Amino acid sequence: MNLTALRRLLLSSSVAMSGSLVMVAVAGYAFLSLAGQLPDSRDKAAMASFYVVVNTLGQGVFIGLEQEVSRSVSHATATGGRLGPVVRRAFRQAGLLLAVCLLLIGAISPLLVAGPLHGAWPLIGAVILGTCTATLSYCARGLLGGTQRFGGYALTLLAEGGTRLLPCLALAALGAGSMLAYSYIYAVGLLFAASVGFWQLRPFLRAALGEAGDRVDAEAASRVADGGLNGRLGQADLGAGVVDADGVRADTVHADTVRAQAAHSEAAPAAPDPGHRWISAGLLFLVGAGLLTQLVANLPALAASARLSHATTTAAAFVQAASLSRIPVLLTLPVTALLLPRLTSAAARGAIHQVRTTVLVGVAAMLGLGAATAAGLAVLGPWVLSTFFNAHGISAWSLALMGIGTGGMMAVSVLQPALVGLGRQRLVPIAWGAGAAVMTAAVVWPSDPVAAAVAGSLIGPAVVAAAMGVGVVRGVSAPVVPTDSAANPTDSPAVSPTLAVDA
């Protein structure tokens, strides 16, 4: 690799986002480690449960908001649609999701306190605070992803991890740490992330929500399309090397398309407002998929722990093994944020060949990483579990099978944004639901609990990936008519009758 390629790799958006995500992961592990050091066992359990509740809401509910906002902004940008209504609808949908979550928290708070929070009523305030900050942060990240400002996206991750990690470590060093102090610091972390995100979005929001019919002018649209480091996927990024048949890079074509459509937009009649509905069907599909994702990710460990109540040492060892096998998934999470706007733009322009090539390259890369993960777990997994986690009894063969399942989860990070970009969001929760159903059957099968949980860890993600793969194949095979806003300025920006659940 020459120096220029190495420099591009180190400065690429995917590396920046992966590095920032490592900070978030380190902060999470540090939080759990500090919980384990509390002297009161009830405080330990309550703090760990708070971590699960807050992250289930964030990653299970609001990640769907992020993906739908990113898709909507990307589609409007690629087709020359009005961004003002799209942005306002994003804020309305965020507010509605927040209201529903707060009502749900209020309704089940007695159950939460009596159960997982172990009588710690003050933690309900931290749960509410964490839910509010998650709403702001994931909405900002959706806008950043949709405008391809990935440098700003990475900064939100750094702010989230850093503002959780450093204050908690400082309190621990001073001997002033407590369950409530750690938990409230953890909840506030996403507020700093949201502040950084909206600061980065100021020029875009001023342009999108300005006067003159809520249209982004040509200069602002060009900045969104090009965006310097923040708006460009480096050559090292997945799918960045896709070239059209005439030899022109796809991202260059995208920038030129946006400029031309934005220049035309000032003279064109106003298109129908796409933001008249409070909530889109696409968002509901993705929120349901997010919740099912959490079920598939956590069910094997939970089921094994419940069935091994008579063998707590083995149960704890399997939970640690399951966590270890899923670590590589963290490094591929930015792939979804990076690919979603690119694939949405390509689908909106009718560049299905670009979607097809990006998905094929991406899935092959993820499956290769999954194979490497399985091999690494088989060779080093038992030693890592024994040395660093004091966990024993999980075989190399079991770890390897869970690693293959992790490869399926990694492939989904490419297949899911492809489905969303093609406007086939309804298939996302169907795929996750099918995987969850098969996994549930596997983990409760009347056999050895560890063997059943290992089988579920393998079969569930495989079914999800296979179902999404079928959906993507059907999507790229369907006839697509690219939107021509110049010729049909009043048309709705749907890609085709078979695509775009909610443009």
**Which runs of E-coded beta strand occur in 343-468?**
none
- 3-state per-residue secondary structure call for 318-377: HHHHHHHHHHHHHHHHHHHHHHHHHHHHHHHCCCHHHHHHHHHHHHHHHHHHHHHHHHHH
Question: pLDDT tens digits, residue range 214-253?
Answer: 444 434 444 444 444 344 333 334 343 333 333 334 444 3
Bridge partners (DSSP) of residue 457 are: none
Indicate the pTM of the whole model.
Answer: 0.74
Question: Which letter does DSSP use for residue 220 in this model?
Answer: H
Contact 78, 348 (CB under 8 A): yes
Residue 61 DSSP class: I
Q: Which residues are paired to 153 by β-bridges?
A: none
DSSP summary character for residue 249: B
Give residue 4's pLDDT: 55
Q: Which residues of the chain have pLDDT under 50?
A: 1-3, 5-6, 9-10, 211-275, 481-503
Cross-strand partners of 243: 249
So what's the pLDDT on residue 222? 41
Nearest to 421 by CA among 18, 73, 84, 83: 73
Q: Are 265 and 220 in contact (CB under 8 A)?
A: no
Q: What is the pLDDT of residues 396-415, one digit of tens each?
A: 999 999 999 999 999 999 99
Give just the sign of the alpha carbon dihedral 331, 332, 333, 339.
positive
pLDDT of residue 408: 93
Check residue 435 and give its pLDDT: 95
Could you give the percent of the chain with pLDDT greater than 70?
78
pLDDT of residue 294: 84
pLDDT at 127: 93
pLDDT score recorded for residue 314 = 82
